[in-house]
Amino acid sequence: MKSGERQKATTEREGTRGLRTAGSKKQQGNKKKQVRSIKQLLAVNTKVGTSRGIRLWCIQMHIGSGGFGDVYRVIDERSTKSPQQEYAMKTEIHGAHQRRLTIEKSILKEIDAYTTANSKTRHFCELIDSGQTADYSVNFAWIVMTLIGPSLDSVRRMLNKQFSKPCVINMAVQILEVSGKIFFFKI
Ligand SMILES: Nc1ncnc2c1ncn2[C@@H]1O[C@H](COP(=O)(O)OP(=O)(O)OP(=O)(O)O)[C@@H](O)[C@H]1O
């Protein structure tokens, strides 16, 4: 992340009030989840933004967590659009894996530049905003991107592990298309 982008975040909450500890008893059942339980999630209505940013992101809900970050549904509190457009914010607590979000951000930027220049169908999330905050007891870096639907895995579970044949073919075509693009980007 460039130094100019390392702006101090503005928040409407102070101290650690915007944070809550992640993990229920069930979540603490295995080793991976035990690691997650000591991390903290941002509470609903927490505001995150940069001092020079036009947008102020308001946390709506925690969508899920990956190996190195948490993902939230957010809206831009300063937007006058109605209905409010929803986005996804991925956060990363500063630590051993910090560079993963930086790498993800540069990949999204590169893809953005390509898709804008070539007006190609999107298969990737658009990078909307990014920043870093030190306003809470834990520092975290964040990116805001297009909000997409639930993962294929959760849809599969919702459908009792049954996809129709046309659906499978449609998914296969899209996966091949996106694989071709990833190859093009040499990611
Ligand atoms: N742009 C997005 N819109 C909606 N949900 C998202 C978005 N990005 C990620 N998610 C969801 O957030 C959760 C965590 O995603 P994340 O990308 O952090 O980890 P992952 O892909 O599951 O694993 P890994 O850490 O190995 O990349 C997943 O349930 C994913 O479906």
Residues linked to residue 170 through DSSP beta bridges, in sequence order: none
**CB-ligand 1 contact for 86 (6 Å cutoff):** no
Pick the range with the lowest mean pLDDT from 105-109, 124-128, 135-139, 161-165.
Answer: 135-139
Tell whether residue 90 is among the known ligand binding residues: yes
| Long-range contacts of 143-150, Cβ-Cβ distance < 8 Å, separation of 24 or more | 143/89, 143/90, 143/101, 143/104, 143/105, 143/108, 144/55, 144/57, 144/74, 144/87, 144/88, 144/89, 145/87, 145/88, 145/89, 145/90, 145/108, 146/87, 146/88, 147/73, 147/86, 147/87, 147/88, 148/88
Regarding the beta carbon of 108 and ligand 1, being less than 6 Å apart is answered: no
Tell me the per-residue pLDDT of 75-95, one tens digit each, with 9 for 90 and over.
999 998 888 999 999 998 766
Q: Using CA atoms, how far apart are residues 81 and 171, in angstroms rounded to an integer?
A: 33
Which residue lies with its CA nearest to atom 22 of ligand 1?
66
- Per-residue pLDDT tens digits for 99-109: 789 889 998 88
ipTM: 0.95
pLDDT digits (tens, 9 = 90+) for 33-53: 444 444 578 999 999 988 777
User: How confident is residue 136, by pLDDT bands cut at 50, 70 and 90?
Assistant: low
- Ligand 1 center to residue 63 CA distance, Å? 8
| Spatial separation of the C-alpha atoms in residues 94 and 79, rounded to whole Å | 29
Cβ 9 under 6 angstroms from ligand 1: no
pLDDT tens for each residue of 116-127: 766 665 688 999
Per-residue confidence (pLDDT) for residue 81, from 0 to 100: 87
- Alpha carbons 27 and 172: distance in angstroms, whole number: 33
Residue for token digits 């991390």? 39
127 lines ligand 1 (CB under 6 A): no
- DSSP state, 76? E
| Atom nearest to 66 CA in ligand 1 | 19
